[in-house]
Structure 1
Amino acid sequence: MIFPEVPSLALIAERLPKIFPEGTEHRNYLIREMAAKTLYVMFYAGAIEGSDLWVRPSQITDMTDDQAQLIDIESRKAWVKMMLSNKKKKSENPWYAANSREPIRDETIRTGLIPLQAVIVRQGIPTTSSKPTYALQKEFTELFAISLNGDGLNSAIELWQKRHLSKAAITRLKLMKSYGSDDFESIQITFPDGAIRKLEPGPSSLISKAVIEEFAPRFLKKPKVLWLSESGNKVVAQDEALAQALGLKIDPSRALPDIILVDLGNDSTGLEMLVLFTEVVASDGPINRQRKEILTTLATEAGFDPEHLAFLTAFIDRSSQPFKKSISELAWGSYAWFSSEPDYIIDLREHDESVKLTSLTKRKK
């Protein structure tokens, strides 16, 4: 029985957010203290792929600070033997209460670590069995080598992510990293008609780019950009010819949204014109009830038909703080969309608007 070196709890806690950065699904389960302690116990017990040693959640709840500091091999072997025996003694000052086994098992391990191939499951053991069934994936453990740091650590993490995360997860992570980068002089946006506009660099501009280049072709049949602005109410694009053709009046001095998209519809499918008011949220400012009412009033005064209006709030990602902060404020009768998951949309449907609010999902290509 070969027991591996045990990285410190502090080192594990420090590296988890690097291995699972913003954009990782269920990231809160993967980077919290409970996750770090779960990994620590697996290292402590030698539960690593290929060792035929495994842990169960009760070993994590019953671990103590005093025991965790006894990292010599004999102490660790004795602890594992005692913890898996029928004569196990109750721990004094355990890390967690006994009823914490469920969040460790269901959230941290099953929902968080197993889908990302950081933890493996012992085969042939019934789910109702009390036998230990979890171990660390071997390559994953190498990311916690004490000697690994700097560029070497970053390269190892990136390689592990490429090998073990799904293609969708990798794409999501890359996109999330781009939102944190300031290596842009400007953000170039290509409109549906091929026209190109530039915005100042920043997260809001990247979300605006995604709305026009990713959202519009996915959810609209014949999209046009009627209005685009950026921070400071700077008007980047205003299609006056289209507005006049539609009989609409746009007053830049009014509190307009970040983007106004127009879908000219599709005669063959019976889809009518739709005007989509979009707010881009990198920090604050979703379409809440009050904002929806203001925009509806502005739209009707400008000549828009209320039956042909829709409202969208665009975010970076479901895991981002702006979305978590805004979700309880989002207006009923509006939509939420995430640039990191461009094929999906949240429909905050009102019962009495059920017919109108199918318009975006009907248009989805």
Structure 2
Amino acid sequence: MTARPPFATRDLIAERLPLIFPEGTPNCIYCIRELAASTVFAAIYIGAVEGSGRFLGPVHVYRMTREQAALADDADRDAYTAAVLRKNGIVAGSRWYADNTREPIRDETLRDGLVAIGAVLRREDLPTTSSQPRYALKADFSTLFDPTLEGEALEVAIANFQETHLSKGALARVTIMRAGAAANATGIRVTFPNGETRLLAPGPSSIIAQAVIEVFAKRFLAAPAMLWLSESGNKVVIRDDAIASAIGLKIEADKNLPDIILADLGHKEPLILFVEVVATDGAITDRRRDAIHAVTDAAGFDRKQIAFLTAYQDRQSAGFKKTVAQLAWGSFAWFVSEPTQLLVLHDGTADERSLGSLPWASLAIAPPPTSPPQSANTPP
């Protein structure tokens, strides 16, 4: 067997995991939380690294103790590796986790997290019912926790790992998330469809609003026009009464209006899109949809001309997890970090029982005007 990798503390591993898997990485939370740091620590501790012939099981993680984790000599590491696999093996000290942590280690941290992202390999030659350890850190992943690897050398090693193991889509997602986090602290400059620009207050909501206007509208609307934009502390940022009046919509700054109203003038009948921007709360719920429908009904609009969108930074954001259960059926959700995708909440009430029968749903299954043709079942 090969030598074990250099000993690394769980604290050091916990510091580096968010650098390796920044926000925007698929299933990021499973890869950076304490349980992930504990899992990587245990793998390094016993030497479960690609090519070593040693493998990790959840038992190595949940039977680790604070006292054992402080013992860095190879002899201590060997003793733990042997003891933990014995039927009644006793490891002295205060346990990190109870036995019932087995499932989240196996299913979340490993299967859906580190294995899925390419940081851990899984033996496929064992029956699924086998209790033998089956996981090992990829060699280039394990080297990222060498305590002597620091500074620029560490940054280069992390970048190389990301380039090799994260898919192009995942890398693009990470880049978008990083760009949002690094946005100008003095404000977010947004360019409207007509070329006009405004400076929005700094913050996550403005980053999402900017993406809706500059990215979403260009991709999913044939001839986008800006009717309304509001932000916290400044209720009306833009209000185009001329276009609104021309299409018969009366805009009033009341509690029923969402953060953004867009119009698509590229159709015989204009499409009006009401958008809620969610950093923490405030999605298009059934109540919000019904309140807006009351306004558009009064203006004489056919409900087929009305659509609703809730915009988030990412599917893993706290705002999405908090509000997804409240999203109105018949509405849509869009994510800044995955700009070519669209989530359709099909309410199942249309006569044709198909996506195409929903208001605005053709945009969810049709390519943007300048894109090559796609299958009707292919996401945009």
Within-5 A mapping of 1:1-365: 1=1, 2-84=3-85, 89-91=89-91, 94-122=95-123, 124-150=125-151, 152-183=153-184, 185-192=186-193, 195-200=195-200, 201-252=202-253, 255-264=256-265, 266=267, 273-352=270-349, 355-357=357-359, 358-365=361-368
**Residue-by-residue CA offset, 1:119-176 (whole Å, 9 max, x unaligned):** 1233544444333321111222222222344555444433432332111111111211
Q: Secondary structure at the match of 2:205?
A: helix
Deviations 1:48-82 (A, max 9, x none): 22322222222223333333233211122233234
Assess, with a 3 A threshold, how the Cα gap between structure 1 residues 74 and 278 changes in structure 2: closer, same or farther. same
Query: Aligned partner of 1:177: which letter?
Result: R
Residue by residue, what CA displacement relative to the aligned partner does 1:247-275 show, whole Å, maximum 9, x if unpaired?
222234665322211223546xxxx5321
Q: Distance in 1 between matches of 2:365 and 2:56?
A: 49
Higher normalized contact order (CA 8 Å, seq sep 6+, divided by chain length):
1
- Partner SS, residue 225 of structure 2: strand
Deviation at 1:329, TM superposition (A): 2.8
Letter of the aligned partner of 2:334 in structure 1? W
Q: Is the 8 A contact 1:215 1:342 kept in 2?
A: yes
CA contact (8 A) 2:68 2:91 kept: no
SS at match of 2:106: helix
Following the alignment from structure 2 to structure 1, what is the Cα–Cα distance between the partners of residues 80 and 255? 69
Q: Deviations over 1:168-198 (max 9, x none)?
A: 11111121122222436554444445x2322
Cα distance in 2 for residues equivalent to 1:46 and 1:168? 32
**d(CA) in 2 for partners of 1:8, 1:362:** 49
Change (3 A) 1:254 1:76: closer
Matched pairs, number: 359
Contact 1:317 1:341 in 2 (8 A): yes
Q: 1:157 to 1:196 in 2, by over 3 A?
A: farther
- Counterpart in the other structure of 2:376: none
> Displacement of 1:43 after TM fit?
0.8
Deviation at 1:199, TM superposition (A): 2.6
Deviation at 1:332, TM superposition (A): 3.0
Change (3 A) 1:105 1:78: same
Distance 1:300 1:123, change over 3 A: closer
Point out the more displaced range, 98-107 or 165-174.
98-107
Q: Any stretches of 5+ residues in structure 2 without a counterpart?
A: 369-380
Task: Give distance in 2, aligned partners of 1:205 and 1:70.
Answer: 49
| Stretch moving more, 22-31 or 60-69 | 60-69
| Structure-1 separation of matches of 2:219 and 2:212 | 10
Identity level (%):
48
RMSD: 2.8
Q: Which runs of 5+ in 1 are unaligned?
A: none
In the alignment, the residues of structure 2 paired with residue 317 and residue 214 of structure 1 have an alpha-carbon distance, to the nearest angstrom, of 15
For residues 137 and 218 of structure 1, the distance between their equivalents in structure 2, rounded to whole angstroms, comes to 39
Query: How far 1:315 sits from its partner (Å)?
Result: 0.9
Q: How far apart are the structure 2 equivalents of 1:95 and 1:141?
A: 22
